[in-house]
Chains A and B, each alone.
Chain A
């Protein structure tokens, strides 16, 4: 079966010369849920921007459901990969929630009733259908985050990529986000250093540090490896025992 995401020796240096990625190999099967863990500055966001062709690898190749990420395929790639950015205020730029959720599918050419249905479906999926006509700044931070998820769900992506989805969320909003993600029938890549969240949502994790993948395996096992975590500036919250935590 074609993997949902396939990265082969992806390397990238910013124009200033700063090398952010040194040959990343990562394969995510369709329907899989993977957490990409790593400390600040590990290159997580840089990697994410390669998945939908915002950044182009200096070396190596990225493919989404078998389709290589190239200039010619960008439109389809960006439909297949839904990126949820860290700050919902960056993601939500239209005057109302409805317009914002409609932005992506409208770029794909949807109009009229079909577009309305798509918007409604996405808002229902995140439980925000009652807020369609509100301006984003009237929503709580957690609600804005869920609307941000809806803006990419409306494009019916194959892969949902969330960059630090739990940052700045209070525990209740964090749980609501998890409940939104749980029933979704898409491949999910969560970029985070919220280790308990990774354990809750993703059976598999990869650790990115210094621009390379340094570990890849079942989340529970990685989080139980104290030495591994310590070596890569990852820490569990006080009192959290991944061996005892069961969903």
Chain B
């Protein structure tokens, strides 16, 4: 909940991957994930290649393996289901030691685990080498509608302001002896949440006034006049290779 929480994923650096235009990285990540998802689950070798590609990209981005591994932890709740599948799915069963596992469940679990992990690794590489304003700019350049990028921009800008406010409220509560341990003590937290909502609403109104005062008429001006150096689109070689791997896996 500390300041800078929303920016914690970015690792400042000067690696080649940091310097590439964000739109190229976003496009490459998206296409790469699609290629991974399109890979048949039986082609274990193909997933090994995908993993090698994304880990290689991470190394180019000066991203230590331990950091990548640590950031994978977030997928744990999502892939828990993958570990259950071999036990609960039907069909022919195989015995592994004392356990009787469903064959299709094993494949299903592997499929989820492999694709989620590699997909997540790709976004970890993207988020670690691109700062948040860069991500928004990249989406803008990829012609994502201005409304979405503007909302994302506001969110980034105010995440810290609002967490700061929340923290001050929490400090003020605890300074007056509030030490919540039990559910029925949550009342004060709930009313802080309400107060925070009202404050955010009021801030929204003030921000809107400030925008109007500077000539805002309903559409945010597109400020970006940047042209992506064509060479940087070579980043797309990564998803092209991955798509090749996926295709080869289908043919094989």
Chain A residues with a Cβ under 8 A of chain B? 49, 52, 54, 75, 78-79, 81-83, 85, 87, 89-96, 99, 102-104, 106-108, 111-112, 115, 135-137, 151-152, 155
Name B159's closest neighbour in chain A (CB-CB): A137
Total A-B contacts with CB atoms under 8 angstroms apart:
86
Q: Is the CB of B157 within 8 A of A54?
A: no
| Among A89, A107, A137, contact of B214 (Cβ-Cβ < 8 Å) | A107
Name A102's closest neighbour in chain B (CB-CB): B223
Q: Is the CB of B214 within 8 A of A104?
A: yes
B211 part of interface (Cβ distance < 8 Å): yes
Cα–Cα, bound, A115→B221 (Å): 12
Residues of chain A lying within 8 A (CB to CB) of residue B246? none
Given known contacts A87-B206, A136-B157, A93 and B223 CB-to-CB distance under 8 angstroms: no
Cα–Cα, bound, A170→B83 (Å): 57
Number of interface residues of B (CB under 8 A): 30
Residues of chain A lying within 8 A (CB to CB) of residue B211? 93, 103
Q: Is the CB of A107 within 8 A of B3?
A: no
Instruction: Quote the shortest CB–CB distance from B213 to chain A (angstroms).
Output: 4
Give 18 A-B pairs besides A85-B206, A93-B211, A136-B157 with Cβ atoms closer than 8 angstroms: A54-B212, A75-B215, A83-B210, A85-B210, A87-B206, A90-B207, A90-B210, A92-B157, A93-B154, A93-B158, A93-B207, A95-B153, A103-B221, A106-B223, A107-B217, A135-B157, A151-B214, A155-B215
Cα–Cα, bound, A102→B221 (Å): 9
Given known contacts A79-B215, A106-B221, A115-B223, A137 and B210 CB-to-CB distance under 8 angstroms: no
Cα–Cα, bound, A112→B221 (Å): 12
Name B153's closest neighbour in chain A (CB-CB): A95
Q: Is the CB of B206 within 8 A of A135?
A: no
Cα–Cα, bound, A95→B140 (Å): 13
